[in-house]
Structure 1
Amino acid sequence: MTDFRAEDWLTRPHGLAQRFREAREAAGMLAQDVGAALHWDPAKVSKTENGKRTPTAADIHAWAEVTGLDDSRRDEMLAMLETVRALRSSFKDRMRYGRTALQGEYDRLYRESSRFRIFQTIWIPGILQVPDYARAVFIDLDELRETPRDVEPAVQTRIGRQQHLNDLSKRFEIIVCEAALRTVLADPQVMRVQLDRLISVTMLPNVRFGIIPLLKRIHTAPQASFVLYDELAVTESFVGETRYFTEEAALLGRIMERLWNDAVEGAEARGLIRAIIEDLTA
């Protein structure tokens, strides 16, 4: 896979940040020389050359003029800036066309990937959701955004994706926090059906399922949810989606391994789920 988050286009080899530095060095200028010519403070120059800030198109034009960068290289930098902007806005833009289109993108990831490492702190992972639970989640989220209300097609797309669980060439490694099982995001009856579904999933030969229990000493704080599609990591929050490929994705892979050390699996996990179902019934 070749998906990158926006910051990778700033800091990767021959990326936008390096282009700024190369243009300055080719002109035989020091960082303070460029800063003085542009009336930039040293921190702004440093952050621009190290990918710690996203430049504007005006910044690129000004830098090119001061360093004598030719038009073709300047235009390459402007094109790279547009890529950064596109990556940053892609989630928001996709959401304008509704959840069905976004779910279709995830379908592609499921088709093309073979190993899925999923960690969820507060929701049942989408690949394991029953229709009524998925519907409740989508309805709640849509109330936060001005997006087309295409809940039913999005639910059907998400549920259809579960066919991949039957593909034994694909491996699913899923950890959820107990809080996700106890957070009542749908009617109690729906929650009971959803939890019963999890019990059946633990029996699948290509699924490893674990729970980070409450009231147990753990060694890795479950800070945020994420999914690793092979070596591509995706995190999603209320405000958007971020994709990581390379070092950050590798770090999340190591975090996943640490989380398994704190998780309960197999019969112990099924027993915990059954206890939560009983609590919902009481």
Structure 2
Amino acid sequence: MIELAVHVTSDWKMSNTIIYILVFTGFVITCVAVMAYRHLNRHDNKPTDDVAGSINDIVISTPVSPARNRVLSAFDPQRHHKLYAQISSPDPKEWQLIGSVSDDQIVTTDGKTRDVDDVVALLLVYDNGEILDHFGNWTPLPLGVHNMSYAEKKMIDVLDLQRLAAGNRNIQVTYSKSPTRPNDSNYYSTSLKNISAQRVRVLRFGGYVRDKKQWKLHNASNTFYSGEQFQSWYGMGHKNWIESGDVVIDPQNYGGRPVIWAYFCESEDGDQFVAGAELP
């Protein structure tokens, strides 16, 4: 009787062990299947705005992309922009220069027409070669295209508000919503109107942020933006001077509040002044 009980107990323990193993194995298999499904689903719905993504990621993503549409809508040949595109075929890694854009098509400078949905990457570039905006995997860069240059050491400059008030008699600075990013308050359109009787040119400029009772220069480049950058960003092309009564605009200026954008200028007769305004 005792021997029989031992065998029964042993068989019962073995059966339970087998059941536990089977249950645990089933649980593991289920978890692995769920994780695999989630991974594949996440990959299929990866947003096209992911700059770090590969070309393959972009091709299989949803064809409608706010970033792509934003870059296309910002392209303005009259502002001397250059637009480069990578097309899904035949070689998605080759940049092609775009001459014109419509709602659903782009036309390359050599006359080839392609559907907008075939675009897997875009680079919108100022005429000085600096990148204005991008969509998709934008490296390696086309020849002559580059990011903004940066100073190794941050420049310290405090804005003279009295001098600013005097200079505003020559240049009027105003702000409005950015036409390409109207729902993003960190992007805005900045306009300069020459309200003086003489031609005026901008020598350098920058954004000043409040530091206690002072306004200090706080540019992404760690130094002033140059007169050449002003000409490119404000769509002036090769023109140096803002004629009396003329308005120049940067429709995609950016930066948080509070900030004063200040422009160090020179009039045609050689007088130098600074004009600017606080972003409301």
- Tell me if TM exceeds 0.5: no
Q: Which structure is higher in helix share?
A: 1
Higher Cα Rg, which structure: 2
- Structure 1 or 2: larger strand share? 2
Q: Normalising by structure 1, report the TM-score.
A: 0.25
Q: Compare relative contact order (CA 8 Å, sep 6+) and give the higher one, 1 or 2.
A: 1
